[in-house]
Structure 1
Amino acid sequence: MIEYAFMSIFNKDYSEKAAEVCQFLSILRPELIVPSIVDKLFTSIDDIVEAHRFTSLMFCVTRISRQLVRQTHSYSHGQTYVVPLLLSVLPGIDFNDIDKTSVTIDFLDTILMLITCVDCSSALQIRNDLTEIEREVCLSTAMFEDFVTRFLDEVFEIIDSLSTDYMDAPNINEHPTEYDIFQKKLISIITSIVQQCSSNIFRIVREKIVSFVTGSVFTSKVRPLVVGLVRAIVKCHPEDTLKQHKSVNDFFN
C-alpha cells in the first residue's frame, strides 16, 4: 500500500487522495512514511526538469506535518527535519509560479502553528540527559533566526515587486481570490512566529518590519498585507513596540 501511495503522489488525478492516504499511514507507521516523503522532497527542491514533483510533495508533506513534529516513543526523528525543511523550501515562494508559492505558504503556515521559534541550542551546555535526537533537534533550532530573516526578505521582495512592477498587476487582478488568500496566509505565518518565538527572534522580526515599512512606499494593492504585518507585531507586544517605534504609530495614523 505504501508503494502505491508514493507512486500516486505524482499522479495529477490522484495526488490529493494519495496525500490523504499518506497522512493516515503516517499516523499508523510514521517511521515508514515521514522519512521517505521528506527525503523525496529534499531531492525535488533542485529538480528543474520535473518541478511539478516539488509541488506534489509539498502538498503531501503539509498533510503529515503533525506527525513530523510529534515526539513519540516509537518515532521522534521527524523533529530533526523541521528547521532544515523550513529553510530548504523558501525558494518555493516564487510569485511567478502561483501553485508552487501556494503549497509552500500552506506548509509554512501549517508547520509554524505547531512549533515555537526558540533557539534551544544552549541546552546542550546545560543538560546532560539529552538523547542524540534531542541534541540534534536543539542544534537545528540555532537556524531559526536565519529562517525568519530569509522568510521576511522573501515577503519584502514580493511586496516590492507588487508595488513597482505594473506588468504583474493584470495577473493579480485576474486572480483576486488567490491573492487575498496569499495575503492572509502570510499574515497568519508572521502572527504564528511572533506569538510563539523568543524575545530575540521577536526583536529581529520587529526591527526588520519597522525598517521596511518606514523606508518604503506602498501601493493600495499591498497595503492590507503591510498593515497586517505591522498589526501582528503590535498585537503581540503593543506597549514595547509602540514605545520604541513612533513610526509605527504614524503608519497607522
Structure 2
Amino acid sequence: MDQAQSDTLGFVPQKDIVYNKLLPYADRLDEESNDILSKIKSNLCRAVQLREIWPGVLFWTRKLSTYMRLYGRKFSKEDHVLFIKLLYELVTIPKLEISMMQGLARLLINLLKKRELLSREDLELRWRPLYELHDRILFSKTEHLGLNWFPNSVESVLKTLVKSCRPYFAESATQEMLDEWRPLLCPFDVTMQRAISYFELFLPTTLPPELHDKGFKLWFDELITLWLSVQNLPSWELHLVNLFARLANDNIGYIDWDPHISKVCFLFYFQHPLRSLKRLFFSFVAHAHVWPDIYDLTHGVYFMGGPSKQAQAQLSGLFNSITSFFHPSNHGRWLMKLMKLLQRLPASVVRRLHRERYRKPTWLTPIPESHKLTEEDITCFVKSMMQPVLLAMFSKTGSLDAAQALQNLALMRPELVIPPVLEKTYPALETLTEPHQLTATLSCMIGVARSLVSGGQRFPEGPTHMLPLLMRALPGVDPNDFSKCMITFQFIATFVTLVPLVDCSSALHERTDLTEVEREMCSASAEFEDFVLQFMDRHLLYLLHTLISQLC
C-alpha cells in the first residue's frame, strides 16, 4: 500500500497522518491532497516573487498550516526543505510586522518539529539572521520609550524558533558565536547576563562525534571553569546550568564528567541547594526562592550511567540528606519545591530509558552501550527514592506529586515500589477515623494501577490484589465525605478500565496450562458479579443522597 501511495502521489511523503486511511473516502485523499499541495506551492511562490506579503504570502502560509493539520507532513523531503528555507527567509525579513513574523515563525516551528525527518545533511540554516532578529526585538533600545510595542508572547515564540533551528546550524557556527560574544564575558558587568543567555540559546550541542572539535570542545573547559569560579549565585548561573544540562543530554557518553563530579562540579551542583535548605531550616527564609528554581536537579539524570557510578552515588547521598524534609509534619513553600523535584526526577529517568531502549534510531547521536543505564543503576535509583516518596505520600501539600513519582518508579521496578504501597493501603482501607490516610493511599494506588494489574516477570502476583482492593474500597462510596467518595470512584474507574470484569472461573476446568497466579485470578473472577452488584447499590444510594440534598 505504501508503494501504491507513492506511485499515486509521485513522491514518498515525509510523515502522513495514518488515521486518514480509516476515513470512508480514503481512496480519494491522495488526489485531493496533491491538488491542494500543488496550489499552495504555485501560489506561495508567485506571492513571494511579487513581494506580496499581505495578503498573498500570509494567506497561502495559512493554507499550508491547514494542510499540515489535515494531512500531516504529506510532502516530499525536497519540498519539506524548500518550505523551511522559504519560511526562514520570510521570518528574518528586517522590519517585518511582529504579528506576521509570529505567524510565520509558528509555521516554521511546526515544520521543524519532527527532527528525525531531516538530518544535518538535508538542511543547513544560518544562525546570524536569527540572532539579529532576537537582538532587535528582545533587547530593543526603543521599546521602553514607547516607540515600539511587542506582545508578551513574542519572546517565547522567538526562543522556540531558535531551539528548533539550532540543530541545523553550520559546523562553523560555534566558533563564530564565540567570536561574537566572548568580549561580553565579564562577571562584573551586566553584559555577562546577555552573553550567557545567548550561549544557552544559540550554541549547538547536537553535532556528531566527529565534529566535537568544532563544537562544545571549543567552549566547554572555559565555561565550566568560569562557572566553578563564581559561587555567589549570580543571575546568569541559571543559563549556564541549563546549557551544561542540554550538552549532557545531547552527548551522553561522549563527555568525561568524572573529574568535575569527583572534585567540585557535582558536589557544587547538589550542595548549593542543601546550603539554602539549611538556611531555610534555621529560619533564614531570605534564600527560600533560590532553590530549585535555579538548580533543577532533574538534570542529574543525564550524568547517570557509565563505569564510575559517581553521579548515582551523589544522587543517593542527596536524598539521604533531605529525606527528613519530606516528613508529613513539615509544611512550607520550600516543601512544595521539594515535592516537584520528587515528581520530576523519576519522570526524567523514564524518558531516558525510553530513549535508550525503545525509541527508533535517528540521525541524532546515539548513546553508547557503555553509558546506558543498567539494571543495577535503575534498582539503586529506585531504592534511593522510595523512602522520601513514601513519606511524601501523606504530605500536607497533597499526594499528587508522590503518586506521579510512584507511577514512574513502578514502571521501572514494580517489585520494589508496589509492596510498600500495598502495606499502607490495606490498613488505610480498614480504618474509619483517618480519611486523609485513605485518600492519600488510594491516590497513590491509582498511580501504580497499570503496573499492578499488568503483572509481568517482576511482579507476577500483582493482579491477585485487584479484587481484594476493589471489595475493600466499596465503603469509600460515602456521600457524607465528598473527597473520599470522589477518590474512590476514580480508584474503581481506573481498575475497571484497565481490566475487563469477566467471570473466568470455567477456565479452571477447561485449561491445563494455567500458572498458579492465573488459576488464582480465574477462581477470584467469580466474585466480580458480587462486586458489581454491591457497587451499583452504593452508587444508587449516593445518587439518591445527592438528589435529596439538592431538593432540600
Q: Deviations over 1:8-29 (max 9, x none)?
A: 1011215211111111110111
Look at both structures and tell me which one has the larger radius of gyration over its CA atoms: 2
Answering whether residue 411 of structure 2 is matched by residue 27 of structure 1, we say yes
User: Could you say which residue in structure 2 is the equivalent of 1:70?
Assistant: 454
For residue 107 of structure 1, the aligned residue among 471, 479, 491 is 491
For residue 475 of structure 2, the aligned residue among 91, 95, 119 is 91
Identify unmatched segments of 5+ residues in structure 1.
Answer: 172-253
Question: Which structure has more RCO (C-alpha within 8 Å, separation ≥ 6)?
Answer: 1
User: Could you say which residue in structure 1 is the equivalent of 2:427?
Assistant: 43
For residue 515 of structure 2, the aligned residue among 113, 118, 131 is 131
CA distance in 2, matches of 1:73, 1:137: 16
User: Could you say which residue in structure 1 is the equivalent of 2:393?
Assistant: 9
For residue 550 of structure 2, the aligned residue among 169, 177, 184 is 169
User: Could you say which residue in structure 2 is the equivalent of 1:201?
Assistant: none
1:35 touches 1:78 (CA, 8 Å); kept in 2? no
The one-letter code matched in structure 1 to 2:550 is: A
For residue 148 of structure 1, the aligned residue among 513, 532, 550 is 532
Q: CA deviation at 1:36?
A: 2.0
The one-letter code matched in structure 1 to 2:428 is: S
CA distance in 2, matches of 1:160, 1:106: 20
User: Could you say which residue in structure 2 is the equivalent of 1:244?
Assistant: none
CA distance in 2, matches of 1:28, 1:61: 16
4+ runs of 1 displaced by more than 6 Å? none
CA distance in 2, matches of 1:20, 1:162: 31
User: Could you say which residue in structure 2 is the equivalent of 1:157?
Assistant: 541
CA distance in 2, matches of 1:16, 1:99: 14
CA distance in 2, matches of 1:78, 1:5: 20
Q: Deviations over 1:75-126 (max 9, x none)?
A: 2211001111111101111111110011111111111111111111121112
2:410 touches 2:451 (CA, 8 Å); kept in 1? yes
TM-score (norm 2): 0.30
**Structure 1 residues 46, 137: CA separation in 2 closer, same or farther (over 3 Å shift)?**
same
Q: CA deviation at 1:30?
A: 0.5
1:84 touches 1:140 (CA, 8 Å); kept in 2? no
For residue 117 of structure 1, the aligned residue among 477, 501, 519 is 501
Root mean square deviation of aligned Cα: 1.6
Q: Secondary structure at the match of 1:12?
A: coil
CA distance in 2, matches of 1:133, 1:85: 17
Identify unmatched segments of 5+ residues in structure 2.
Answer: 1-384
**Structure 1 residues 160, 13: CA separation in 2 closer, same or farther (over 3 Å shift)?**
closer
Q: Deviations over 1:196-218 (max 9, x none)?
A: xxxxxxxxxxxxxxxxxxxxxxx
1:22 touches 1:64 (CA, 8 Å); kept in 2? yes
The one-letter code matched in structure 1 to 2:466 is: V
Q: Deviations over 1:178-213 (max 9, x none)?
A: xxxxxxxxxxxxxxxxxxxxxxxxxxxxxxxxxxxx
**Structure 1 residues 94, 14: CA separation in 2 closer, same or farther (over 3 Å shift)?**
closer
For 1:201-216, what aligned pairs fall within 5 Å after superposition? Answer: none
Q: CA deviation at 1:55?
A: 0.5
The one-letter code matched in structure 2 to 1:67 is: S
Q: Deviations over 1:27-64 (max 9, x none)?
A: 11101112221231111112233221000001111111
Q: Secondary structure at the match of 1:144?
A: helix
The one-letter code matched in structure 2 to 1:82 is: M
Answering whether residue 438 of structure 2 is matched by residue 54 of structure 1, we say yes
Q: Secondary structure at the match of 2:430?
A: coil
2:415 touches 2:459 (CA, 8 Å); kept in 1? yes
Q: Secondary structure at the match of 2:480?
A: coil
CA distance in 1, matches of 2:483, 2:428: 15
CA distance in 1, matches of 2:413, 2:444: 16
CA distance in 1, matches of 2:396, 2:504: 40
CA distance in 2, matches of 1:22, 1:49: 25
2:410 touches 2:417 (CA, 8 Å); kept in 1? yes
